[in-house]
Amino acid sequence: MPNTNRPIGVFDSGIGGLTVAHAISRLLPDEQIIYFGDTAHLPYGDKSRDLIKRYSLEITDFLLREKHCKCIVIACNTASAAA
Protein backbone atom coordinates (compact mmCIF):
# COMPACT_ATOMS: atom_id res chain seq x y z
CA MET A 1 0.00 0.00 0.00
CA PRO A 2 1.59 3.34 -1.00
CA ASN A 3 2.30 5.79 1.81
CA THR A 4 0.40 8.59 0.10
CA ASN A 5 -2.98 6.99 0.78
CA ARG A 6 -2.22 5.90 4.33
CA PRO A 7 -3.25 7.91 7.41
CA ILE A 8 -1.12 9.53 10.08
CA GLY A 9 -1.65 8.02 13.52
CA VAL A 10 -1.67 10.25 16.60
CA PHE A 11 -1.97 8.96 20.15
CA ASP A 12 -2.23 10.29 23.66
CA SER A 13 -3.32 8.93 27.01
CA GLY A 14 -6.52 10.96 26.70
CA ILE A 15 -7.88 13.86 24.71
CA GLY A 16 -5.10 16.44 25.19
CA GLY A 17 -3.35 15.26 22.03
CA LEU A 18 -6.30 16.42 19.95
CA THR A 19 -4.58 19.82 19.82
CA VAL A 20 -1.60 18.12 18.15
CA ALA A 21 -3.88 16.29 15.73
CA HIS A 22 -5.62 19.57 14.92
CA ALA A 23 -2.29 21.31 14.25
CA ILE A 24 -1.23 18.49 11.92
CA SER A 25 -4.56 18.73 10.15
CA ARG A 26 -4.10 22.48 9.60
CA LEU A 27 -0.55 22.04 8.29
CA LEU A 28 -1.37 18.99 6.17
CA PRO A 29 -5.03 19.42 5.16
CA ASP A 30 -4.95 16.59 2.60
CA GLU A 31 -3.83 14.02 5.17
CA GLN A 32 -6.18 11.65 6.95
CA ILE A 33 -5.56 11.48 10.70
CA ILE A 34 -6.48 8.65 13.05
CA TYR A 35 -6.50 9.68 16.71
CA PHE A 36 -6.17 7.15 19.50
CA GLY A 37 -6.97 8.48 22.97
CA ASP A 38 -6.18 5.79 25.54
CA THR A 39 -8.85 6.82 28.02
CA ALA A 40 -9.04 3.24 29.32
CA HIS A 41 -5.65 3.69 31.02
CA LEU A 42 -5.45 7.38 31.83
CA PRO A 43 -3.77 9.05 33.54
CA TYR A 44 -0.38 7.70 32.51
CA GLY A 45 1.39 9.82 35.14
CA ASP A 46 0.74 7.32 37.94
CA LYS A 47 1.83 4.27 35.87
CA SER A 48 5.25 2.62 35.83
CA ARG A 49 7.62 3.34 32.97
CA ASP A 50 7.38 -0.28 31.81
CA LEU A 51 3.58 -0.18 31.77
CA ILE A 52 3.57 3.09 29.79
CA LYS A 53 5.98 1.53 27.29
CA ARG A 54 3.71 -1.51 26.97
CA TYR A 55 0.64 0.64 26.34
CA SER A 56 2.55 2.74 23.81
CA LEU A 57 3.82 -0.30 21.92
CA GLU A 58 0.35 -1.86 21.85
CA ILE A 59 -1.22 1.34 20.51
CA THR A 60 1.56 1.79 17.94
CA ASP A 61 1.17 -1.82 16.81
CA PHE A 62 -2.60 -1.32 16.43
CA LEU A 63 -2.16 1.89 14.42
CA LEU A 64 0.45 0.32 12.15
CA ARG A 65 -1.08 -3.12 11.63
CA GLU A 66 -4.81 -2.49 11.86
CA LYS A 67 -5.08 1.09 10.62
CA HIS A 68 -2.07 0.97 8.25
CA CYS A 69 -0.70 4.33 9.41
CA LYS A 70 2.34 5.59 7.54
CA CYS A 71 3.69 7.29 10.65
CA ILE A 72 2.85 7.67 14.32
CA VAL A 73 2.92 10.91 16.32
CA ILE A 74 3.17 10.48 20.08
CA ALA A 75 1.17 13.40 21.45
CA CYS A 76 1.60 12.24 25.05
CA ASN A 77 4.32 13.84 27.17
CA THR A 78 4.41 10.94 29.62
CA ALA A 79 4.79 8.35 26.85
CA SER A 80 7.47 10.48 25.16
CA ALA A 81 9.40 10.78 28.43
CA ALA A 82 9.16 7.03 29.05
CA ALA A 83 10.46 6.30 25.57
- Is the separation of the CB atoms in 39 and 15 below 8 Å? yes
What pLDDT is stored for residue 3 in this prediction? 64
What pLDDT is stored for residue 72 in this prediction? 97
Round to whole Å and give the CA distance between 45 and 47: 6
pTM of the prediction?
0.90
Q: What do you get for the CA distance between the two ends of the chain, in Å?
A: 28
Q: List, run by run, the mean pLDDT of 10-residue segments along the chain (83 residues).
A: 84 95 98 97 94 96 98 95 86
What pLDDT is stored for residue 83 in this prediction? 80
Any idea where the domains of the chain sit in the sequence?
14-76
